[in-house]
Chains A and B, each alone.
Chain A
Amino acid sequence: MAKGENRRIAERLAVMADPLRSAVVDCLVLAPATIGELADEMGVPAERIRYQVKRLRRAGIVSVHEEKRRRGAVEYVYVADSRRLVSPGEEAGDRGHRQRRHVTQSLRSIFKEALQATQAGAFRGWEDCGISRVPLRLDPRGFGEVRQIIESAVGDLFDVREKSSIRLQRTGETARPVTTVLLFFETPR
């Protein structure tokens, strides 16, 4: 790796080390937003967001997506470039970073898709969607049990898919494209 490249990676890593900054980047990777929208989203004063966005722009991670005119004033809509992101360990050639990168890339594509579905109205009727987020405090045995619950659910979902496709073939109806996501992970302290 070239020396300059290493320094850029180190710089970007330092930028992402701040929790508020990385939260701003996560928001902007999913969808472009203004400072006001970000502040509202995170419940943080706009001034603090403005400051962090400035730093992120300097690091080349965030850029202006478009300019909006509102009552004579110009408002900037920002966006983050996920190709510019690095994960911890990358600069050291740490092996774990590959796995972390795989996780972060998968998460980005999953949530991008879900957000697009929101905009398309897929989540509008309560009976037509499901979003749940369950914080858990578990012991190791409980952790294993949750994993088993997920595994058996996956088996059942595949069964449902199989039986659906048999019925669909019989009736010639078009299928509803359904996405299902199951995430289960330990949270940092």
Chain B
Amino acid sequence: MQAMADRSGKHARDKIAAIENPLRLAIVSSLTMSATTAVELANQLDVPVEKVRYHLRWLRDADLVEVKEKARRGGITENVYSIDPRKYLIRHGDRVNVSSGRLDLVHARLLRLMFREAMEAARAGTFSERPQQALLRFLLPLDEQGWEEAIAIHERVINEVLEVRAESQARLDAGDEQEILARLATLLFESRGTQRA
């Protein structure tokens, strides 16, 4: 039991370390969209392939990334890497022995990245292109039970969306459906001590 707890603690710490490095985070983001090789990743991210290989090895050792298949190209066999999104998500209950200062930094980094991505979509006009997009923010004064329930609703959203994603991907791989790259971002936090609009 203790060994299991240690392992999951290490896994959670690795997930945090994966976010702390910008290139690792970029690799993980790219792999969650589609499985690919080190060379393609290096092209996409415009960084030397050795750097990408180094981080892929790190991510594999941390059990966050796996080799989906081997691809042969021009007589060279290359690994095609993929990622299981459920493994990567940091969620409630991932309690770890990480200092609070380090956690604050990781959270801030993740928030800034999410903000930049959303802003990029807003500027390019894709944010508001489809009527089904969502930009929602609510203030909920809750008691303890309500807080627990709100957490459960957020977790449900993520799980259901991951299912839709898997089904969508299967349909996309099978046919000639139009592919839409999209992003879901959710936040749930206590706004105590912050200015409220």
Contact = CB atoms under 8 A, between A and B. Distances in A.
Q: Do A and B bind each other?
A: yes
Interface of A: 16, 19, 22-23, 26-27, 30-31, 40-43, 87-88, 96, 99-100, 103-104, 106-111, 113-147, 149-150, 153-154, 156-158, 160-161, 163-165, 167-168, 171, 173, 175-189
Contacts of A130: 91-92, 151, 154-155, 186-189
Most buried by B among A40, A42, A121, A129: A129
B12 to A, nearest CB: 8
Interface of B: 21-23, 26, 29, 32-34, 85, 89-96, 100, 103-104, 107-130, 132-147, 149-151, 153-158, 160-162, 164-165, 167-169, 171-172, 177-197
B132 to A, nearest CB: 4
Contacts of A157: 138, 140, 150, 153
B161 A113 contact: no
Contacts of A178: 139-142, 146-147, 150, 188-191
A141 B33 CA distance: 18
A120 B144 CA distance: 20
Given A104-B119, A164-B146, A188-B124, A43 B179 contact: no
Nearest to A153: B157
B128 A103 contact: yes
A34 to B, nearest CB: 15
B186 A181 contact: yes
